[in-house]
C-alpha cells in the first residue's frame, strides 16, 4: 500500500510538471502557450455589450468588428468616422477591470497626425530595446505576432471599455491571442522591429478600427486618463493635438523620419503607410535632398550575425554599437531587427 501511494504521488507530480512546461520562461517573465487560451468557437469578440448596443443600434454607422487573431485590422479598415453624426458615450476608467496604466513611461518623440504629408495614427514613445511594455487597460489579446505590414512584433488588445490598443515594434512578444490581461501586465519587450529605425514604442488607440489621437484620452505627463468619460464624436477622430495636453516631445530628431535614412527597405511598397510611418514614393525620393546634417546608417540583423561581427564590419566597438541602440552586451540578437550603426 505504501509503494502504491508513492507511485500515485510521483505520477501526479510528473503530470503537474509536464503541464507547467507549456510555459516558457524568458528573462524571468512567463510566456504562456497559445493552447492555454483557446476560446470557445462562438466567442464574438464583444467585451462591452453596452457600447456594442449603442453602435449596432445605429444603422447609419454600419460598423463591423470581428474577433480576428490573424489580421491586425479586424474590420479591414472599412469603418469610417464620416458616418459618425451622433455622440456615443463610453467609460475608459472601469474600476471593475483595473484602471489605466501607462504602457511605458518615456518621452514622446512623435505625435499623432500628419507627418511628411501622410497620417501617423499613433504616438511614439522613446524606450530602449528590452524595456518592459505593459497593457494600457484590462482586456483580451486579439493579435500577437510579427506583422509584415510594418508594425514588426505587434500586440493588439481589445478592452472592456470598448477600445483597442496597438503596441508595435516590440523585440519580443510575451502574450498570445485570446489571453486575458490586466492593466499594467507586461505584454512584450520594447524594440525596433518592422519598419522602425531606432527603438521606440508605437502606440495606437482605436475605436472599431478607427484611430483616435491617444492624447485626447491620455495625459502622458500625469500618466493617467484625462477623464473617465469619453464622448465619441466625429471631431474625436481628427488629428489636431489638444492644446490642453502638456507636450513631452523631446527636442531631438525623430529616429524614424524618412529623411534620416541612408537606406529604405525596398520590399516596402512605395507610398504605403506602415505603422503610421510613411514611406517615400520613387518620385518623392528622387526629388528629396537629404540634409547635410544627416549621417545615420542602419543594419538589419541576418542569420549568423552577432554584436562583434556587426560592430567590426561597421568600424565600431561592441560598446559603441550597444550605446547607439540601447542594447545590453549580453542580450542575443533576433533576425530582422534593425540596428543603428552610424
Transcribe 140-174 into DSSP letters.
EEEEEEEETTTTEEEEEEEETTS-EEEEEEESEE-
Q: What is the pLDDT of residue 158?
A: 97
Q: What is the pLDDT of residue 118?
A: 75
Average pLDDT of 247-263?
32
17 compared with 122, residue with greater pLDDT? 122
Work out the widest C-alpha separation in the chain, in whole angstroms: 87
Backbone φ, ψ for residue 53 (5° rounding)? -65, -40
DSSP string, 32-101: --GGGG---TT----S-HHHHHHHHT-TTT-------SS-S-TTTT---GGG--S-EEEES--GGG----
Three-state DSSP state, 30: strand
186 compared with 57, residue with greater pLDDT? 186
CB 230 within 8 A of CB 89: yes
22 compared with 119, residue with greater pLDDT? 119
* CATH fold group of domain 1-291: Glucose Permease (Domain IIA) (2.70.70)
Q: CA torsion sign, 80 to 268 to 293 to 250?
A: positive
Judged against a pLDDT cut of 90, whether residue 58 lies above it is answered with: no
In the chain, ranges of CATH 2.70.70.10 domains: 1-291
Judged against a pLDDT cut of 90, whether residue 32 lies above it is answered with: no
- Which pLDDT band holds residue 342 (cuts at 50, 70, 90)? confident
- Which pLDDT band holds residue 103 (cuts at 50, 70, 90)? very high
**Average pLDDT of the chain?**
75
Average pLDDT of 259-284?
31
Q: Alpha carbon of 250 to those of 125, 255, 293, 296: distances in Å?
A: 10, 11, 18, 19
Q: What is the pLDDT of residue 17?
A: 40
Judged against a pLDDT cut of 80, whether residue 228 lies above it is answered with: yes
Average pLDDT of 165-180?
97
Judged against a pLDDT cut of 60, whether residue 123 lies above it is answered with: yes
**Helix, strand, coil tally for the chain in percent (to 5):** 20, 25, 55
Percent of the chain predicted with pLDDT > 70: 69
Average pLDDT of 300-321?
80
Q: What is the DSSP letter of 242?
A: P
Q: What is the pLDDT of residue 241?
A: 45
Percent of the chain predicted with pLDDT > 90: 39
Q: What is the pLDDT of residue 171?
A: 97
> How far apart are the C-alpha atoms of 17 and 300, rounded to whole Å?
39
CB 203 within 8 A of CB 167: yes
Class of domain 297-342: alpha beta
- Which pLDDT band holds residue 49 (cuts at 50, 70, 90)? very high
Three-state DSSP state, 332: coil
The radius of gyration of the chain's CA atoms, rounded to the nearest angstrom, is 22
71 burial type by CB count under 10 A (0-12 exposed, 13-18 middle, 19+ buried): middle
In the chain, ranges of CATH 3.10.350.10 domains: 297-342
Q: What is the pLDDT of residue 239?
A: 59
Which range (93-107, 199-213, 235-249, 299-313) has the least confidence? 235-249
- Which pLDDT band holds residue 173 (cuts at 50, 70, 90)? very high
DSSP string, 251-308: SS--TT-GGG-S---TTSPTT-EETTEE---HHHHHH----TT----EEE--TT--HH
Angle, alpha carbons 108-163-233 (nearest 5°)? 90
Which range (152-161, 278-287, 313-322) has the least confidence? 278-287
Give whichever of 14-28, 29-43, 250-264 has the largest mean pLDDT. Answer: 29-43
Which range (183-192, 253-262, 285-294) has the least confidence? 253-262
Average pLDDT of 265-276?
31
Question: Which bin fits 328, alpha (ψ -120 to 50), beta or left (φ > 0)?
Answer: beta
Which pTM does this prediction carry? 0.65
CB 269 within 8 A of CB 281: no
Q: What is the pLDDT of residue 142?
A: 97
Amino acid at each position: 500500500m505504501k509503494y502504491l501511494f508513492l507511485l500515485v504521488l510521483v505520477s501526479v507530480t510528473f503530470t503537474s510538471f509536464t503541464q507547467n512546461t507549456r510555459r516558457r520562461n524568458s528573462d524571468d517573465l512567463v510566456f504562456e502557450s497559445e493552447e492555454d487560451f483557446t476560446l470557445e468557437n462562438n466567442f464574438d469578440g464583444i467585451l462591452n455589450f453596452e457600447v456594442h448596443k449603442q453602435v449596432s443600434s445605429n444603422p447609419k454607422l454600419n460598423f463591423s468588428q470581428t474577433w480576428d487573431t490573424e489580421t491586425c485590422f479586424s474590420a479591414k479598415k472599412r469603418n469610417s468616422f464620416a458616418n459618425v453624426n451622433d455622440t456615443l458615450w463610453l467609460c475608459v476608467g472601469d474600476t471593475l477591470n483595473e484602471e489605466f496604466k501607462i504602457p511605458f513611461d518615456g518621452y514622446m518623440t512623435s505625435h499623432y497626425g500628419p507627418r511628411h504629408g501622410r497620417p501617423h495614427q499613433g504616438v511614439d514613445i522613446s524606450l530602449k530595446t528590452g524595456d518592459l511594455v505593459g497593457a494600457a487597460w484590462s482586456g483580451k489579446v486579439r493579435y500577437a505576432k510579427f506583422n509584415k505590414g510594418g508594425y514588426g512584433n505587434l500586440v493588439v488588445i481589445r478592452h472592456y471599455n470598448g477600445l483597442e490598443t496597438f503596441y508595435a515594434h516590440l523585440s519580443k512578444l510575451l502574450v498570445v491571442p485570446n489571453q486575458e490581461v490586466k492593466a499594467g501586465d507586461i505584454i512584450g519587450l520594447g524594440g525596433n522591429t518592422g519598419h522602425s529605425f531606432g527603438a521606440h514604442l508605437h502606440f495606437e488607440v482605436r475605436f472599431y478600427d478607427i484611430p483616435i489621437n491617444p492624447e485626447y484620452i491620455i495625459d502622458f505627463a500625469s500618466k493617467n486618463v484625462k477623464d473617465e468619460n469619453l464622448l465619441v464624436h466625429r471631431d474625436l477622430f481628427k488629428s489636431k493635438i489638444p492644446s490642453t495636453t502638456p507636450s513631452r516631445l523631446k527636442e531631438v530628431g525623430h529616429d524614424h523620419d524618412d529623411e534620416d535614412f541612408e537606406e529604405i527597405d525596398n520590399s516596402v511598397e512605395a507610398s504605403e503607410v506602415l505603422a503610421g510611418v510613411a514611406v517615400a514614393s520613387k518620385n518623392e525620393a528622387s526629388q528629396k535632398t537629404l540634409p547635410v546634417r544627416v549621417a545615420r546608417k542602419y543594419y538589419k540583423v541576418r542569420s549568423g550575425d552577432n554584436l562583434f561581427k556587426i560592430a567590426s564590419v561597421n568600424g565600431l566597438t561592441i560598446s559603441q554599437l550597444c550605446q547607439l541602440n540601447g542594447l545590453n552586451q549580453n542580450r542575443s540578437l533576433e533576425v530582422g531587427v534593425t540596428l543603428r550603426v552610424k
